Amino acid sequence: MKKFLFLSFYLFFSLAHARELTLDECVDKALKNHPDIKKLSLNVAKSKSYVDIAKADYLPQINLGVEYNPINTFVMPQNGQFNTIEDDSWKVSASLNQKIYDFQKTTSTIKAYEKEQNRADFTLEDAKALLIYKVKNYYNLALLQTKALDIIEKDIHAKEELYKQALALVKEGLKTEADASSILSALYIAQDSLAVTQADLNKAFSTLSLYMGEKIDAGTTLKESTPPKEQNGEALAQDILAKNFSLKSSQEEIQRDALLYKAAKAANYGSIDAVASYAYQDTLNEYDTSLVGVMLSIPIYSGGRISAQSQQAKISKEMAKESYNAQKLLLKEETANLLIDLERYRHTKKAKEALIESAMATRKIVEARYKEGLSTYIEVLDAASVHLYAEFGLLEAKFAINNTINRLEYLQGELK
């Protein structure tokens, strides 16, 4: 009695403190806590610094130098002879270098790193969309297992009642022991199925907890989200090609490599710089020097380095183009297959819904006939099996539809 009261109190306490978990809450916490998102956010900041570094080449470069020598030997001619004098010396100097024109090498480099920054942004957005897709799938999996538990528990309850009826009919001599034993075996199988489904639910919750960065309490209920609206397949395919983050990232990569190739070619022509310097020096005598002018620097021979760098940049540009084309082809293929699967799952869903109605009607009739001794336990178990198959089939069809739509939304760049 005490044990029963304790269990009742425990169940009441658990239900009273059970909280409802929504998909939006899971997504928000995963985006906030997942290390991949944090890492890629840092990568975006890192790519921004490369843009700042490239822009620095168009700003004045100012250097200040100070030199002091406590012992310095000076050689001076005197009366046809060379005499040495040891004394200290020091020098203070400042120089300024301002790039005037470098045949768009710096401009192209800056634009290339801006494209790289855009690519990093799209990579981050793609990672967010992928994480949302995974969270949705595990949430739907947990929801599927929760509903499966309800179905199995109802099936167990029905088999328990059927077993009691079989025992009563055996006592009256209307049925044999085989009836009761077979129904009891089916009951044990259902109880085992319940344990397996509960374990699968716990695994789904465990993985979802890892994505969210916090533990999901036992007894947590899941709120079912609103079913998505159906979209035109052709329009959806075009939308995916226009909005896919991975494809956008590849487009930015092509433009980045094209600009880097342009910058590499411009290195062949050198640069024109404005230079200015001032130095004050005390070496036996005190004097200062100053310089203001323009300097033209043209690379005549670099051992083939510049040519090789240009060739390397050109190859990278062509590789980026082919990578984009291959990625676009795979995206089209996956989208087409997903739309075909989605149509098939929707037909399956309708078929399972119709099957559930007929299986339920058949099961009720067969169980009623069994009570009257007009049907066998085999017919009863077969009817229950068909009904259970239809219930699970409908759940799996809905799960497959949701997962397919989630994948299409990920490819479409949805961040919700």
- Assess whether pLDDT exceeds 70 at residue 330: yes
Residue 292's nearest CA partner among 130, 96, 76, 30 is 96
pLDDT greater at residue 218 or residue 364: 364
The DSSP-derived string for 313-371 is HHHHHHHHHHHHHHHHHHHHHHHHHHHHHHHHHHHHHHHHHHHHHHHHHHHHHHHHHHH
Extract the tokens encoding 370. Answer: 């069994």
Banded pLDDT at 214 (limits 50, 70, 90): confident
Pair type for strands 285-297 and 20-21:
unpaired
List phi, psi (to 5°) of 227.
Answer: -60, 135
Instruction: Provide CB contacts within 8 A for 342, sequence distance 6+.
Output: 401, 404, 405, 408
Provide the edge-to-edge strand list for the sheet that holds 61-78.
61-78, 81-101, 271-283, 285-297
- Assess whether pLDDT exceeds 50 at residue 15: no
Banded pLDDT at 30 (limits 50, 70, 90): very high
pLDDT of residue 56: 87
The DSSP-derived string for 248-271 is HHHHHHHHHHHHHHHHHHHGGG-E
What percentage of residues in the chain have a pLDDT greater than 70? 94
pLDDT greater at residue 135 or residue 300: 135
Banded pLDDT at 142 (limits 50, 70, 90): very high
Quick count: other Cβ atoms within 10 Å of Cβ 387? 23
Residue 356's nearest CA partner among 387, 399, 398 is 387
- Assess whether pLDDT exceeds 80 at residue 102: yes
Average pLDDT over every residue of 163-176:
81
First-residue to last-residue Cα distance in the chain: 50
- Assess whether pLDDT exceeds 50 at residue 12: no
- Assess whether pLDDT exceeds 80 at residue 17: no
- Average pLDDT taken over every residue of the chain: 86
Extract the tokens encoding 403. Answer: 């997962």
pLDDT 10s digits, 237-286: 899 999 999 999 999 999 999 999 988 888 888 899 999 999 998 877 78
